[in-house]
Each structure stands twice: as C-alpha cells, then as structure tokens.
C-alpha cells in the first residue's frame, strides 16, 4: 500500500481495537525496528505458528517481505511441527508470547530454531512487537548472494507451504514473491475487488486459500478486510448485524451450511452481500 486513510484491516477479537489504515500498515511494514530480533534475510526460513487474527495477517505480510515465511498450524502435534521445521530448515519460529504453545517451542528448540514471541500492541489492530525468548540469534552466516538485502525481490521465495498429504506424504511447495503477487492480482481482478469492498476472513491463514484470497488479493486491490479469530457462525452474524460491515466472504461448504443454519435462527437479519466464495469442496444443490 502506498498510503492514505483507507482501512486495510480490522479484527473481531473482543479487544475493541480500531481499524488499521493503509498508511499506518505501510509505515509499520517498512520499519526495520520491530523486526531486529529476527535478523533474517532473503533466503532464510521463518515459521509462524499462531492462531488466526489480524496480528497473524500482518505478521505474514511482514515476514514474506523479508525472507521465506512458513505458516504452520499451531495446533498440530509437536512431532509433526518438528518434522516440518526440520524439512524447511527454519531459523526462527514466531509464536504468541505467553500463550499455551509450549509444544511449538519445544519443537523449535529441538531443531535449533530461535523462538520469537509476538506481543500485540493493545491500541493498534494487527500491529505487534517481537521478543526473542532466549537462545541464539535467528540469523547467521552470509546474506543470500553475498548481498545484505533488506527485502525480498520478485524471484525470491516468499512463502513455503505443505500440501495436505491426502494422496501420500505431504510435499513442500515454495512460492516466489512474483508468483504470489500475480496469483493474488488475478484473484482480485476476477472478484472485481476495490476500495469500496470489505471482506470477512474466517479461513485459516496457514493454508494457501486464506493467504492468497483473503490477505494478498484484498491488499493489492486496496480493499478492507476483517480478520476473525477463527470460524464461528454466531460471530459471523453478529459482525454482519452490528459490526463494521462487510460485503463478501469466502468459506468452505461446511462453514456455509453453519452460517445458513445460524441465519435461520435470526429471522430479523436481512443483508445483501455482493459476493460469496466457496472452496475446499462442492456445494450441495440444497445449500
């Protein structure tokens, strides 16, 4: 984002936070001070194991700008997290400071990765500070290509994800910054997103669908997004009835069904959405 007062994101985490403008988001992402504890460069891997919410959204943006971000499900078992960290060679893992994710910390330290605690800023939606939780610095060795670069270039790997493994052993998929942005721009164009739109994210941000469709695509379109702490059909309707308002969302078939069932219990709620997206399975004709 280049600046302005357009709202980039908000959250539904019960803390009464204010929306974050594009101008403030740009200022935060460009500042090196909050990320000094990482000491990572393009080509290094940094995992993020955090619950959904606006802090995770901003953290994904910030890390994918500077090195290769590896989003992980923080509720996966310790052994699976350790195996994924070992395969990626992650130098650091970002977790919520003081939260109950000690299994992630054990997995990280067992793989020699630095543990970085994330502390939300109470008065600014999505913004945070990072604190290294002991141990060695995250970065070491020479920079990629011998050049001490601060941000990724178009050909650098910005994101690494694991496939679901439904047809066998899951595979690691690297995604270049150029491809990530092109894919997100195509989605933004196909959905005709613009500054007048505001979406509602309930999808996990450790999967490609939530990351590309609900984070990078709205960002490139200058749209606003509301990032919930996870899926809850009642919270969805509360936000639609009494919150900041949104005009599109993206979800899976099971989530759509839950939203419809909750809506039937609220006969007074009438809303008009511009767009509803579906993924992760076909919708039944009855839905």
Contacts by residues 157-163 (CB-CB < 8 Å, ≥ 24 positions apart): 157/43, 157/68, 158/64, 158/65, 158/68, 158/69, 159/64, 159/68, 159/69, 159/70, 159/71, 159/211, 160/45, 160/68, 160/69, 160/70, 160/88, 161/70, 161/71, 161/206, 161/207, 161/208, 162/84
How much is the pLDDT for 168?
Answer: 63
CA distances for 166 relative to 111, 232, 254, 270, angstroms:
26, 26, 19, 39
Query: In sequence order, what are the residues at sequence separation of 6 or more whose Cβ sits closer than 8 angstroms to the Cβ of residue 271?
Result: 240, 241
pLDDT band at 148 (very low <50, low <70, confident <90, very high): low
pLDDT band at 163 (very low <50, low <70, confident <90, very high): confident
Q: How far is CA 86 from the centre of its chain?
A: 22
- Evaluate if residue 219 carries a pLDDT over 90: yes
Q: pLDDT, tens digit, for every residue of 224-268?
A: 999 999 999 999 999 888 876 899 999 999 999 999 999 999 887
Q: pLDDT, tens digit, for every residue of 41-51?
A: 999 999 999 99
Strand stretches in 203-252, DSSP E? 224-228, 248-251
More confident residue, 1 or 182: 182
Q: How far is CA 37 from the centre of its chain?
A: 20
- Evaluate if residue 106 carries a pLDDT over 90: yes
- Evaluate if residue 192 carries a pLDDT over 90: yes
pLDDT band at 170 (very low <50, low <70, confident <90, very high): confident
- Evaluate if residue 5 carries a pLDDT over 70: no
Taking the CA atoms of 244, 249, 254 and 256 in sequence, report the sign of the dihedral they define: positive
Average pLDDT over residues 143-159: 77
- The whole-model pTM stands at 0.90
Q: Which helix (H) or strand (E) holds 106?
A: helix 102-110
More confident residue, 212 or 148: 212
- CA–CA separation, 116 and 119 (whole Å): 10
Residue 114 near residue 91, CB atoms below 8 Å: yes
């Amino acid at each position: 984002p280049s600046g302005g007062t357009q709202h980039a994101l908000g959250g539904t985490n019960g803390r009464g936070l204010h929306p974050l403008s594009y101008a403030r988001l740009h200022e935060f992402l460009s500042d090196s001070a909050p990320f000094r504890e990482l000491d990572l460069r393009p080509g290094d891997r940094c995992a993020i194991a955090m619950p959904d919410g606006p802090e995770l959204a901003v953290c994904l943006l910030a890390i994918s700008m500077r090195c290769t971000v590896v989003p992980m499900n923080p509720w996966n078992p310790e052994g699976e997290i350790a195996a994924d960290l070992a395969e990626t060679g992650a130098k650091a893992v970002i977790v919520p400071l003081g939260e109950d994710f000690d299994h992630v910390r054990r997995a990280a330290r067992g793989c020699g990765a630095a543990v970085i605690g994330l502390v939300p800023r109470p008065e600014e939606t999505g913004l945070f500070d990072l604190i290294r939780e002991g141990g060695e610095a995250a970065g070491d060795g020479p920079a990629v290509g011998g050049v001490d670069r601060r941000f990724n270039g178009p050909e650098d790997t910005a994101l690494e994800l694991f496939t679901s493994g439904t047809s066998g052993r899951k595979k690691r998929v690297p995604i270049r910054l150029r491809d990530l942005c092109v894919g997100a721009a195509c989605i933004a164009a196909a959905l005709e997103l613009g500054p007048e739109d505001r979406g509602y994210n309930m999808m996990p941000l450790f999967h490609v669908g939530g990351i590309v469709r609900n984070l990078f695509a709205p960002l490139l379109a200058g749209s606003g997004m509301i990032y919930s702490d996870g899926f809850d059909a009642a919270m969805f309707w509360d936000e639609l009835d009494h919150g900041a308002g949104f005009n599109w969302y993206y979800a899976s078939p099971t989530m759509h069904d839950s939203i419809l069932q909750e809506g039937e219990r609220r006969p007074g709620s009438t809303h008009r959405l511009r767009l509803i997206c579906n993924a992760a399975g076909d919708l039944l004709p009855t839905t």
